[in-house]
Structure 1
Amino acid sequence: MTNPEADPDTHVCVDGGLPGPRAECADGVPVEIITARAVPLGGPCAMNVRRTLPQRQRSLIGAWCFVDHYGPDDVAATGGMDVAPHPHTGLQTVSWLFEGAIAHIDSGGNSADVLPGEMNLMTAGAGICHSETSSADTGRLHGVQLWVALPEEARHSPERGFEHFVPEPVGFAGGSALVFLGSLLGSRSPVSMYTPLVGAELRLDPGAELALPVDPGFEHGLLVDTGGSVALEGVPVPEDAMGYTGVGARTLRITNEGVEPARLVLLGGAPFGEEVVMWWNFLARSTEEISRYREEWQRHGERFGRVEGYVGHGGPGRNREGMARIPAPELPRVRMRPRKNPPPLARGQIRDEPTTRG
């Protein structure tokens, strides 16, 4: 998915130095709450996404650098998703749906349907472009779109990779898990990773408690999709927000104290040790790289290739606004300056304005 903002924030993520104040915790592991901000995908009636990463509070969790959470969206009211061809560099996109279907086409010659419980992963490397359109028979659209930052040794690869994986459910007392990236609860995903990561959908029955073994070298974020009474280490995590724990924990205790089932997304990874400049759909290492990528996209350069066969909601080759591809926003007039990502320890909460579902 593209970042649709006309004036996107710049994020330059570096080592945060010494730990700041720790978040309070009800039990053993400190928890920091990251609330979401609303971002429209375009137009007055278009669907909104709820973004928890990146934010001023925290830009990365491991190499996870972008978390958009959307739906359940009534496609009849909003028109659903119609994202015309747009570029990416230096990252992997991870698409994970709860409801609906999305057609993916990229300039690596890959086309696939994104379906609930099935992961699609696209590796941009040096450059790729793709389109994403909800299917005609989709009534409700609901899921997450995630980005992973690529390390230096992988981000210049000319290969435009694509992988599809359907994880088998892993049962545990009081719920189940779908592990789509990395390993957890004895389940391992075969999907390519360039830094140590984990990604999983967790379902918890009402009243259930899960003592989840995790890698102590990872920092983790727990996104609450459904379940209004979820707690992480005894700390309540609201719907659409993320509970963050830093490195060092060997077990995370997750409880569903409500009367309805809870659905959660766990993301984790080893702290990402490289400086990353994030602007619009580009991940780079400097302002000069970002400027070059933007210029190449605007002049239809070969770095990104072409999407063949895009059919948008406006007809063959066009989205509902009549665009055949999404133009890049204007670059900021000032040099992109570093913003320090905090150390991988839960800290005092610096909340953005919370958002509610549309």
Structure 2
Amino acid sequence: MSARLTYDLETKISRALSSENLPELSELIADLSAGTVLELMGRFGEKERAVIYRMLHKDTAIRVFDLLPPSMQADLIGSLRDTEVAALFEQMDPDDRAELLDEVPAVVASNLMAGLSPEELKLTGIVLGYPEDSIGRRMSPEFVRLHPNFTVSEAIATARRELDNAETIYTLPVVSDQRKLVGIVSLRDLMRATDDTLVGAIMSRPEYVNATDSAELAARRCADQRHLALAVVDAESRLVGIFTVDDALAILEEEDSEDHARIAGTEPLRHPYLAAPILSIVRSRIVWLLVLAIGATLTVQVLEVFEDTIAQMVVLSVFVPLLIGTGGNTGNQAATTVTRALAL
């Protein structure tokens, strides 16, 4: 069983990092799961994260890198050797590569792309060909495609053959000879049918999104309709990718974090709060503070208009803080209630 991150364990790891006791650090993190290591790395700065990552076992390191947000992946790349970076980049899914490339400088992105194999370069190029905020940028071009004339035994054999490369095999798109999406069949339906049944006889009406649709809208549709995956098609209804529910949940988490940050009057941070640089925190807050300060000057101007009235009845000034506070509270209530209602 993997160890959990406790306050005592975090303290010991912090002490090992401070004293540069790498053998002790390696021993402390050896039994941690990838999710626990991800939580741990979110509590330290860039330099400490790089040290922790280098102490991980190879398999755990690959899983952790896949789980890291693109901004933290970009930070980590600078501290790794070129051979390590190339190996990690080759093993990433094409949609995850596209996110990472958006975070790194153009020179680094070019070097990363140059190190890919021809097949992986082609798949990544497909994703990069779509606008940044579109679902085409977040889909996976690695999927199992079936034909209506396949028998169930042929379909299962195809899924088994593509098992290691496909993003998912639980929802399988069915395409025509022209690669146009004509149906969807689930693995459950295939397992339930007899071997000689044609896929066209058990497939259902396809649910899909267009590759140029908004990523957030596609993610909400996937989550609201409880789909494990949605097919992604181009303008001519040709199948170009698959969009899975785990990617949908990741997009919704990003968008909800952004919405909540702006409700609170800040810009969303691209790093975990405890690991975010001070300058990033200042930048995320200073713009909104200036906007709110400008808004507050309007209140001062209103008070100046009624200065003579307040001078005649000083007791009115007692209610000024009460009215300002009530106005702010009312605004917060309305913003929170309406935003939540729109989200649901």
Q: One fold, TM greater than 0.5?
A: no
When normalised by structure 1's length, the TM-score is 0.27
Larger RCO (CA under 8 A, 6+ residues apart): 1
* Larger proportion of strand: 1
